[in-house]
Structure 1
Amino acid sequence: MIEKRHYQSKVRGDAARRTRELIRDAGAALFVDKGYVSATAKDIADAAGVAPRTVFTVFPGGKLEIFEAAFSHALEAESGDDSAPVRRDHSDPDDVRRLVAQIVEQSVGLLERAGPLMMTAVQSSGADADMRRLAAESSEQSFANATSIAEGLSEHGLLRNDISVDKASGVLAALVSPHVHQQLRSIGGWNVNDYREWLEFAIRTNLMY
Structure 2
Amino acid sequence: MGEPQLYTQFDLFEHIWTVDRLERLGISRYFQEEIKECVNYVNRASQVMFPEEQILKGAKQFSATFFTEKRAANKLFDKWIITKDLPGEVGFALDVPWYASLPRLEARFYIEQYGGGDDVWIGKTLYRMHLVNNDVYLELAKMDYNNYQALHRSEWDNIQMWYSEAKLENYGLSIEELQFAYYLAAACIFEPERSLERFAWAKNSALIHTIHDIF
Q: TM-score, normalised by structure 1?
A: 0.30
Greater Rg by CA = 2
Q: TM-score, normalised by structure 2?
A: 0.30
